[in-house]
């Protein structure tokens, strides 16, 4: 069993470094503060005994644990990202450790009355008696995906310290900017040199995923015309009213809060408006490619209809594909999923094989030629103040990594 306090100390050393990515930047990494973890992380890998440790000009980190067997073994990789989501602040994270969780409400912040409650977040009850790490209610935690980094580094350190555990060559990689969809953009698959890899970026213990959403982003720009309101009759065009009409014309039950499983959605995540111009930012998601294309067509058709209604171009739409469902790249090599499943069962974990309702570096990497299923890292409630991770889940994820490399070596 991986030593508990060592995991906690390592995880806290990562999450207390602000690594929020910036979607408005064109640089890689998108924020300079990602270097504040990337550089020390590369040094830590050297310190624990990893070889060929490289950190490139874009903060991508790669390292090798050489094989300790005398027969040919496929090279396997493990990948996580060190940036945190710009959806909620990751600055000044103050982790709280809850020992022997009793199944009751957890007061994250007494002054602001912020409560992490199992009456709302039922998954908490899965972890009664365990050690939870939470936020103080004012920031996210960063378990997405610093839990994954903790597990990979800890597994490599354990293997280095226990050479009696047989394994082939292992490659590990840590990326910036996953949270803004760019984590795999500058990842050099050829240099990484693995036959396949696993992202340690899932949530609940047992999750094993090889399907994810097809994803696109849409920027809907609505143009109005500003006139003095006292003399506006027949002249003023309020872009915010037209934007509201657009929003209300999309299927109201096909939003994140009304969907689950493989059901897709339209998600309005940002809106800035004045009379003269309003911008709506949507994400479009669906596991099924034909449904995904249909959703993009719905957006475009609706804009055309409103333009026709107003007799001029009041709405323009810019849709950009972001990533695609990795299932078609994984199915030809399903043995890599089976290996992860067996590794979990060896650790006493019931595998939860299900589609990801989101994205992962593994999707883009799979399309770049590196098949890459996703394994649980253990955290819950990502991207917000209610994020938490059970330490025991991180221990189990670390054990799964160790089991995987032993299975491959056989």
- Evaluate if residue 378 carries a pLDDT over 90: yes
Mean pLDDT computed over 218-240: 92
Mean pLDDT computed over 236-262: 95
pLDDT in tens, 4-19: 999 999 999 999 999 9
Q: What is the pLDDT of residue 348?
A: 97
Q: What is the dihedral of CA 357, 355, 196, 163, to 10 degrees?
A: 90
Give 255's DSSP letter. Answer: S
**How much is the pTM?**
0.88
Tokens of 318: 């810019």
- Evaluate if residue 303 carries a pLDDT over 90: yes
- Evaluate if residue 388 carries a pLDDT over 90: yes
Tokens of 311: 């007799």
Q: What is the pLDDT of residue 13?
A: 98
Buried b (16+ CB within 10 A) or exposed e, 180-196: bbbbbebbebeebebbb
Is residue 83 annotated as part of the catalytic site, yes or no? yes
- Range in 101-105, 234-238, 255-259 the model is least confident about: 234-238
pLDDT in tens, 25-76: 999 999 999 999 999 999 999 999 999 999 999 999 999 999 999 999 999 9
- Evaluate if residue 210 carries a pLDDT over 90: yes
Specify the CATH architecture of the domain 4-212+325-409. 3-Layer(aba) Sandwich (3.40)
Q: How far, rounded to the nearest angstrom, does the alpha carbon of residue 20 sit from its chain's CA centroid?
A: 13
Q: What percentage of residues in the chain have a pLDDT greater than 90?
A: 92
Q: What is the pLDDT of residue 359?
A: 74
Q: What is the pLDDT of residue 398?
A: 98
Quote the mean pLDDT of the chain: 96
CA–CA separation, 205 vs 396, rounded Å?
A: 8
pLDDT level of residue 322 (50, 70, 90 thresholds): confident
Tokens of 251: 């299927």
CA–CA separation, 17 vs 90, rounded Å?
A: 8
176 exposure class (CB count in 10 Å sphere: 0-12, 13-18, 19+): buried
Alpha helices in 194-326, H assignment, sequence order: 239-249, 289-310
Q: What is the pLDDT of residue 232?
A: 86
Tokens of 400: 């799964």
- Range in 222-231, 333-342, 357-366 the model is least confident about: 357-366
Is residue 399 annotated as part of the catalytic site, yes or no? no
Q: What is the pLDDT of residue 206?
A: 97
CATH 3.30.70.360 in the chain is located at 214-322
Specify the CATH architecture of the domain 214-322. 2-Layer Sandwich (3.30)
CA–CA separation, 10 vs 229, rounded Å?
A: 60
Instruction: With beta carbons less than 8 A apart as the criterion, state whether 379 and 84 touch.
Output: no
Closest-CA residue to 90 (of 148, 201, 8, 15): 15
pLDDT in tens, 137-175: 999 999 999 999 999 999 999 999 999 999 999 999 999
Between helices 239-249 and 289-310, what is the axis angle to 10°?
140
CA–CA separation, 194 vs 197, rounded Å?
A: 7
pLDDT in tens, 101-121: 999 999 999 999 999 999 999
Q: What is the pLDDT of residue 356?
A: 85
Q: What is the pLDDT of residue 358?
A: 78
- Evaluate if residue 360 carries a pLDDT over 80: no
Between helices 4-15 and 143-161, what is the axis angle to 10°?
140
Catalytic residue among 136, 145, 178, 399: 178
CATH 3.40.630.10 in the chain is located at 4-212+325-409
CA–CA separation, 250 vs 256, rounded Å?
A: 13
pLDDT level of residue 361 (50, 70, 90 thresholds): confident
Catalytic residue among 22, 44, 83, 157: 83
- Contacts (Cβ under 8 Å, ≥6 apart) of 69: 166, 167, 168, 409
Q: What is the pLDDT of residue 117?
A: 97
* Long-range contacts of residues 357-360, Cβ cutoff 8 Å, at least 24 apart: 357/213, 357/260, 357/261, 357/285, 358/212, 358/213, 359/181, 359/212, 359/213, 359/215, 359/322, 359/323, 360/178, 360/199, 360/201, 360/209, 360/212, 360/326
Q: What is the pLDDT of residue 170?
A: 98
Report the phi/psi class of residue 378: left, alpha or beta, with left for phi > 0 and alpha for psi in -120 to 50. left
CA–CA separation, 223 vs 278, rounded Å?
A: 7
């Amino acid at each position: 069993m991986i030593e508990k306090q060592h995991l906690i100390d390592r995880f806290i050393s990562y999450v207390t470094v602000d690594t929020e990515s910036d979607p408005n930047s064109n640089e890689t990494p998108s924020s300079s503060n990602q270097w504040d973890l990337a550089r020390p992380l590369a040094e830590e890998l050297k310190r624990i005994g990893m070889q060929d440790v490289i950190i490139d000009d874009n903060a991508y980190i790669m390292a090798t644990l050489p094989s300790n067997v005398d027969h040919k073994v496929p090279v396997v990789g493990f990948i996580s990202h060190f940036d945190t989501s710009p959806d909620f602040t990751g600055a000044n994270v103050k982790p709280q450790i809850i020992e022997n969780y009793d199944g009751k409400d957890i007061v994250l912040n007494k002054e602001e009355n912020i409560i992490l409650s199992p009456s709302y977040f039922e998954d908490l009850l899965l972890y009664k008696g365990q050690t939870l790490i939470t936020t103080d209610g004012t920031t996210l935690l960063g378990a997405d995906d610093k839990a994954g980094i903790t597990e990979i580094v800890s597994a490599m350190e354990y293997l280095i310290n226990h050479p009696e555990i047989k394994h082939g060559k292992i490659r590990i990689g840590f990326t910036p900017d996953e949270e803004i969809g760019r984590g795999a953009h500058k990842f050099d698959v050829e240099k990484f040199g693995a036959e396949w890899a696993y992202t340690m970026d899932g949530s609940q213990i047992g999750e094993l995923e090889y399907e994810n959403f097809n994803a696109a982003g849409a920027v809907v720009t609505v143009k109005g015309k500003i006139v003095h309101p006292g003399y506006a009759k027949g002249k003023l065009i309020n872009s915010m009213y037209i934007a509201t009409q657009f929003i209300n014309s999309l299927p109201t039950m096909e939003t994140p809060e009304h969907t689950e499983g493989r059901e897709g959605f339209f998600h309005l995540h940002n809106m800035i408006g004045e009379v003269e111009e309003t911008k709506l930012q949507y994400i479009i998601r669906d596991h099924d490619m034909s449904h995904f294309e249909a959703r993009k067509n719905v957006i475009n058709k609706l804009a055309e209809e409103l333009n026709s209604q107003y007799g001029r171009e009041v709405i323009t739409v810019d849709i950009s594909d972001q990533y695609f469902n990795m299932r078609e790249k994984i199915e030809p090599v399903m043995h890599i999923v089976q290996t992860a499943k067996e590794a979990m069962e060896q650790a006493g974990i019931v595998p939860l094989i299900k589609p990801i309702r989101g994205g992962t570096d593994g999707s883009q990497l799979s399309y770049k030629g590196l098949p890459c299923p996703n394994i649980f890292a253990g955290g819950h409630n990502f991207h917000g103040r209610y994020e938490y991770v059970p330490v025991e889940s991180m221990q189990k994820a670390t054990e799964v990594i160790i089991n995987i490399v032993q299975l491959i070596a056989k």
